Amino acid sequence: MDWRELTIEKWDRLTGYILLVIGITGAWSSTHLKMGSFRHPGVGFLPFGLSIILIILSLALIISRWKKGTSSTPFWSHRNWLRPLLGIVLLGLYALVIDTLGFPLTTLIFLLVWMGVIERIHWLKMVSVSIGVTLALYLIFGYFLEVPVPMGFFK
C-alpha cells in the first residue's frame, strides 16, 4: 500500500503503536532504577509514572481510531504538508544561526517569519507579539534566571 493512501485513522493508530512501544520501553527501563516511595520518590519514580501515562494515552488513541465506518480522509490532502515542512526548516535554521546572530535577534526573526508565513497573522499583531515574546523570554531567562543566552552581535 502506498503511504499517500493511508488515512488519518491509520496514521493515528501507527502513532499509537509507536508511542505504546516507547511507553513500554520507558516503563521497563525505569524499573531498573530506584523507585522509592510515594512520599520519598526515587530517580525511577517519575519516568515510570510518565511511561504508564504514555501507555494509557497511546492505548486510548489506538482504540479510538479502531472504529469501523469512520470517514477515510487522506492524511496529507492537497498541499497541507508544506506548512509543517516549513516549520521544521525554520526550527532547523533557528538552531543553526542562534549562536551567530544571538538569542534576541534570532528569536525575533523566527517569530516574525513563523507568524507571518506559517500562521499568516496581521502584520501589526505579528510585530507586537514577536517583540513582546522576545523581550519577555530574554527577561525571564537572560535577566531573572541568569541563564547564559547567546547574544551574537549584542555582546
Checking if the pLDDT of 66 tops 90, the result is no
Mean pLDDT over 111-127 rounds to 92
How confident is residue 83, by pLDDT bands cut at 50, 70 and 90? confident
Residue 99 host element (H or E)? helix 82-101
Give the residue from 115, 64, 65, 67 showing the smallest Cα distance to 90.
115
Please state whether the predicted TM-score (pTM) of the whole model is above 0.75: no
76 within 8 A of 70, measured Cβ to Cβ: no
How confident is residue 62, by pLDDT bands cut at 50, 70 and 90? confident
Nearest-5° Cα angle at 20, 15 to 23: 125
Domain ranges in the chain are 3-64, 82-154
